[in-house]
């Protein structure tokens, strides 16, 4: 393919992309959801009412950045629990992938499956290029009343858990 053809193909590819909604800003109600975990059990946002919730979206199980982020939350589980916060990961991967990922890295928190990307879209965390879809690495700190307390739209997978813990301490 000639360079001009490659440029035209890329332009058509990105022009056909369906982009996500705008992430909910701090102070607004967190978008509700009902998603299955690796075992098929449905979870709703209301399940975490009365607790702080770290809702983190990630692109793909078993990739380097996603694994680093997942393990960082795992390794800081006691600190998060002491701050009365729970962690929930969301990606477009299926339940079997989540189950293998959680077992391989001994993740002590829930991973939810958003196969259609509906919830990721509500949180502005969906990248949808029609042939390729994945969740962006976005996180939301949701307060005990179900409102977005903080959004993280530029996440460094290695330092994110520490950033969330610092913000939880400041917000409490």
Burial class (CB in 10 A: 0-12, 13-18, 19+), 37: middle
Specify which residues 136 forms β-bridges with: none
Largest separation between any pair of C-alpha atoms in the chain: 59
CA 163 to chain centroid, in Å, comes to 15
- List 54, 66, 80, 142, catalytic entry: 66
Specify which residues 37 forms β-bridges with: 112
Specify which residues 55 forms β-bridges with: 88, 140
CA dist 81 and 76 (Å) reads: 9
Burial class (CB in 10 A: 0-12, 13-18, 19+), 99: middle
> 152 with 35: CB under 8 angstroms?
no
Active site (annotated) includes residue 140:
no
> Which residue numbers are catalytic?
66
């Amino acid at each position: 393919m000639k360079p001009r053809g490659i440029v035209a193909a890329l332009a058509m590819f990105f022009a056909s992309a369906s982009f996500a909604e705008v992430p909910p800003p701090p102070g607004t109600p967190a978008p509700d959801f009902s998603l299955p975990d690796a075992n098929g059990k449905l979870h709703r946002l209301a399940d975490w009412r009365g607790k702080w919730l770290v809702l983190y979206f990630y692109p793909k199980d078993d990739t380097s950045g996603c694994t680093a982020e997942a393990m960082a939350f795992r390794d800081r589980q006691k600190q998060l629990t002491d701050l009365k916060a729970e962690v929930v990961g969301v990606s477009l991967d299926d339940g079997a992938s989540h189950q293998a990922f959680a077992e391989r890295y001994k993740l002590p928190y829930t991973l939810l499956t958003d196969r259609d990307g509906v919830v990721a879209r509500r949180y502005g965390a969906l990248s949808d290029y029609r042939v390729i879809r994945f969740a962006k690495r976005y996180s939301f700190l949701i307060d005990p009343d179900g409102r977005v307390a903080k959004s993280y739209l530029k996440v460094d997978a290695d330092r994110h858990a520490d950033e969330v813990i610092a913000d939880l301490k400041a917000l409490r």
